[in-house]
Amino acid sequence: SRYELAERLSLFLKVSPGAYHLRGTIEDPGFDRPLVSRSWTYSLDATGGAALMFARVGTRAVPRARFWFTGEAGFAFAGTSDMTFAPAEQADDPRHYGSIKLPDFRPAGPVGRLAFLVSF
């Protein structure tokens, strides 16, 4: 949602779904390959912020482009991700290896963004 305080200043609230692709690597000098972990999890950002239009191209009634600075803050909610590390596979190596299970990881917490935007 958006609320326009003035012609060039707006406040907004936003909820955004998303996905995280988490990648981890452990290097072991005694092993010829790194241990890797790859996983996906969902995310949901809930933020609020302000947008300031600092310039426009075209007439006031029909602008062709608008230039904005925005800032927002909020919280990112995310699912937990399995952090199981195993050697990276090689096609010419027939050996099978076990894996190392580390505690699950949850990439959630406070979030803040500053941006420069162009709208048409």
Give the pLDDT confidence score for residue 71 in this predicted structure.
97
Tell me the average confidence (pLDDT) per consecutive run of 10 residues in the chain, 120 residues long.
92 95 88 88 96 91 91 96 85 77 92 94
DSSP string, 13-44: EEEEEEEEEEEEEE--TTSSS-EEEEEEEEEE
Give the pLDDT confidence score for residue 5 in this predicted structure.
92
Give the pLDDT confidence score for residue 61 in this predicted structure.
81
Give the pLDDT confidence score for residue 44 in this predicted structure.
96
Rounded to two decimals, what is the model's pTM?
0.69
| DSSP symbol at 31 | S
